[in-house]
Amino acid sequence: MENAWLIPLFPLVSFLFLLLFGKKLKEASAFVGILLTLASLVYSILVLIERFSESTFKAEAVWLTIGNLELTAGFEVNQLNALMLVIVSLVSFLVHTYSKGYMHGDERFPVFYAYLGLFTFAMLGLVISPNLLQTYIFWELVGVGSFLLIGFYFYKESAKAAAKKAFIMTRIGDVGLLIGMILLFWQTGSFEYDEIFAAVEEGAISGTMITLTAILIFIGAVGKSGQFPLHTWLPDAMEGPTPVSALIHAATMVAAGVYLVASLFPLFNASETAMLTVAIIGAFTAIFAATIGLVQTDIKRVLAFSTVSQLGYMMLALGSAGYVAGVFHLMTHAFFKALLFLAAGSVIHAVHTQDIEKMGGLWKRLSFTGPLFLIGTLAISGVPLFSGFFSKDEILIAAWANGNYPLFWLAVIAAFFTAFYMFRLFFMIFSGEARSEMKNVHESPSVMTMPMVVLAVLAVVAGYVNTPWFGTFLGDWLVEGNEALGHGHIEGPGWIMIVATVVSLLGILLAWMMYSKKSISRDWLSSRAPLAYGIVKNKYYIDEIYNQSIVFGAKAISLFLRFIEVFLVEGLVKLTTAAVQGLGKTGAKIQNGQVQTYGTIAFVGLAVLIVIYALTGGYL
């Protein structure tokens, strides 16, 4: 555990190595990336196992000394960090492996692996940071990595735009995080998590200040985790290669926001308003994104909206004082969503389209991907015995126990929608008639299916570390030795589990009747409420609203500033140069070699001198 700081360095080595030698290695660079992330993974698992028996380890060194203020850098291995290390390095390793098959034949193959290494380094660094400042640095590095990966196909206009959008949208949130961080530093004089929590507990910070800083930091999390109203970048980010979507938009970067809120949980917990804000934003995002997911036809966009929705669940859990529930769902979601993305990638790899309207009848053709996709779908829908069922149940109980009944019911409805749209996706891809134009459908190579198998196993069993039946091992461990995080297990009425089960089964049933058996017409609802359908189909016109208001305003300001630039600044500059040039040209013209001209000038100069002399009386 003392050497946990090595974990993020392996991917960094991979990044630097591939940056230098990638061109020579070509596709062999995959092995460099895979081996080094495997090293990270093994080390992370060792750290996690060690952490079970030992207490939190923290090491720091002075980084900067400013006056009598010392900024430190180091690493910390607490329960949450150890868990995150394993999740991130595991998913990263699997994605590295999967990409070897998926990106095969790409011209910039080594570059892709280099970027993956950079991103993994940033993310692993983020989860072991012991203070806010370090977190912020890695937070931004994660943003850079994601920008590079989303824009990997930079020759596509849409990918370029998506990368920029992701970067700018998350930057908006980061401003909130930065301000919140500075305010916290101003109030407590430290970036250290421990010292901040101690100050909060002692009451050294006023209540309003706690609320303010918590909400500002939450804005950062909103940006990174794609919560409403900064969610619009996440669906667009699907322009990146599919393994990237699995890595960034399922398990790591988007979870960073949830991780941030979780690691600052004592701060949030000290303010009721902040907690309520987190819960409301979370619940709203969960239902909001779920409704959009109902009508999307792009396989990856459906998954993107479902990610947004599930992240909303996690926020709801954290906002409802369900620390364990939030982190638990973060873990299970990382596994089954990564599985779904990788399976979707496998489907796309096979049929070369992302439009689910054009798919169908792939169950027999993709005999391996199909069942794996089904497992992921079952897990996310919250079908009993799969991991998603247990974590979602925890969240619902947390929301109920906290007394947020409207939010609880919102979450239940969102769960119904989730089950419905996930199975809509599943049935549209795999059931029904095979399309004639899809003759050359072939199963993906084993380098792609193996990571999916690992994730599928985890998607099934990961839930059993924290169940109401076999003990809440994970929950107890997570909160061990830290009362500020709440209880390891929140007791809730037993009927919640039944409701959750019924709701998800109902969603599945409805999806089956509509898209597989077709006993209910597909446009039964859309033909009856075309207006609502249109609104949802267009994602509530959020993008359009932003374009009309914020983007338009920004453009107007930039136009105005450009006007100043062109006419004022450039005008002055041009005037100066023109004056100097004119002077030079005149001087050159005068020096023409004619004695008479020289004489004239000498005479004029003398006359001017005499005039000045006469006027001033010789006193100049």
* DSSP code per residue over 459-472: HHHGGGGSBTTTB-
CB-wise, 440 or 592, nearer to other proteins? 592
Sign of CA dihedral 429, 434, 440, 441: positive
Query: Least distance to other proteins from the beta carbon of 585, Å?
Result: 16
Does 531 contact other proteins by CB under 8 A?
Answer: no
Nearer to other proteins by Cβ, of 567 and 603: the residue is 603
Asked if 548 touches other proteins (CB under 8 A), the answer is no
Query: Distance between the two ends of the chain, CA-based, in angstroms?
Result: 83
Total count of residues recorded for the chain: 620
- Helix pair 272-293, 299-319: axis angle to 10 deg: 160
Q: Is 611 in the site for other proteins (CB under 8 A)?
A: no
Q: Judged by CB under 8 A, which stretch of 36-44, 284-292, 532-540, 591-599 contacts other proteins?
A: 591-599
The two tokens of residue 612 are 């000045």
**Hey, which residues does 372 pair with through a beta bridge?**
none
* Tokens of residue 240, six digits: 């990146």
**606 forms part of the interface with other proteins (CB under 8 A):** no
Structure tokens at 53: 């028996």
Residue 134 near residue 39, CB atoms below 8 Å? no
Run of H or E residues at 585: helix 570-590
Element of type H or E holding 60: strand 57-66
64/606 with CB nearer other proteins:
606
Cα(150)–Cα(243) distance, integer angstroms: 11
Contact call for residue 596 and other proteins (CB under 8 A): yes
| Phi–psi pair at 296, nearest 5 degrees | -70, 150
CB 580 → other proteins: shortest distance, Å?
23
Q: Is residue 591 a contact point for other proteins (CB under 8 A)? A: yes
CA distance 137 to 514: 48
Residue 597 CB, shortest distance to other proteins, in Å, is 9
Question: CB of 588: closest distance to other proteins in angstroms?
Answer: 11
Give the interface segment with other proteins, choosing from 196-204, 360-368, 531-539, 585-593 (CB under 8 A). Answer: 585-593
Task: Please identify, among the stretches 52-60, 318-326, 353-361, 586-594, the one whose residues bind other proteins according to the rule CB under 8 A.
Answer: 586-594
Contact with other proteins (CB under 8 A) among 207, 553, 571, 599 = 599
- Contact pick of 594, 608, 611, 613 for other proteins (by CB under 8 A): 594
- 541 binds other proteins per the rule CB under 8 A: no
Strand partners, 71: 64
**Cα 44 to the center of its chain, rounded Å:** 22
Q: Could you say whether residue 446 binds other proteins (CB under 8 A)?
A: no
Rounded to a whole number of angstroms, the minimum distance from the CB of residue 155 to other proteins is 59
In whole angstroms, how close is the CB of 586 to other proteins at the nearest point?
Answer: 16
Q: How far is the CB of 599 from other proteins (least distance, A)?
A: 5
CA atoms within a 13 Å half-sphere pointing along the CA-CB vector of 257: 38
Element (H, E) at 383: none
- Least distance (Å) from other proteins to the CB of residue 581? 21
Does residue number 603 form part of the binding site for other proteins (CB under 8 A)? yes
| 465 close to 477: Cβ distance less than 8 angstroms | no
Min CB(582)–other proteins separation in Å: 21
Q: At what angle do helices 446-461 and 387-401 cross, to 10 degrees?
A: 40
Stretch that binds other proteins, among 223-231, 292-300, 347-355, 589-597 (CB under 8 A): 589-597
Of the listed pieces 12-20, 289-297, 517-525, 588-596, which binds other proteins according to CB under 8 A?
588-596
**Residue (65 or 592) nearer to other proteins, CB:** 592
Find, among 6, 40, 97, 85, the residue nearest to 252 by Cα. 85
CB of 615 to other proteins, least distance (A): 21
Q: How far apart are CA 353 and CA 66, in angstroms?
A: 56
**Count of chain residues binding other proteins (CB under 8 A):** 10
Task: Choose the binding region for other proteins from 92-100, 135-143, 258-266, 599-607 (rule: CB under 8 A).
Answer: 599-607
Single out the segment in contact with other proteins by CB under 8 A; choices: 204-212, 263-271, 553-561, 597-605: 597-605
Stretch that binds other proteins, among 104-112, 347-355, 532-540, 593-601 (CB under 8 A): 593-601
Query: Long-range CB contacts (< 8 A, 24+ apart) of 537-543?
Result: 537/295, 539/232, 539/235, 539/292, 540/288, 540/292, 542/229, 542/231, 542/232, 543/232
Q: How far is the CB of 587 from other proteins (least distance, A)?
A: 13
Nearer to other proteins by Cβ, of 105 and 593: the residue is 593
Q: Which of 498, 522, 600, 611 binds other proteins (CB under 8 A)?
A: 600
Q: Which is nearer to other proteins, 470 or 598 (CB)?
A: 598
State yes or no: residue 592 binds other proteins (CB under 8 A): yes
Residue 61 CA to residue 561 CA, distance in Å, equals: 45
- How far apart CA 616 and CA 2 sit, in angstroms, is 86
Closest CA to 229 of 168, 173, 307: 173
Two structure tokens written together for 99: 């990409």
Figure out which of the listed residues 595, 614, 615, 620 binds other proteins, where binding follows CB under 8 A. 595
Does residue 593 bind other proteins (CB under 8 A)? Answer: yes
Task: Indicate the burial class of 446 (C-beta count within 10 angstroms; 0-12, 13-18, 19 or more).
Answer: exposed
Q: What's the Cα-to-Cα distance from 229 to each of 98, 172, 235, 289, 377, rounded to whole Å? A: 33, 11, 13, 11, 27
Which C-beta is closer to other proteins: that of 531 or that of 595?
595
Selected range binding other proteins among 500-508, 548-556, 575-583, 596-604, rule: CB under 8 A:
596-604
With respect to other proteins, which residue has the nearer C-beta, 521 or 594?
Answer: 594
Stretch that binds other proteins, among 385-393, 437-445, 469-477, 598-606 (CB under 8 A): 598-606
**Residues engaged in binding other proteins (CB under 8 A):** 591-596, 598-600, 603
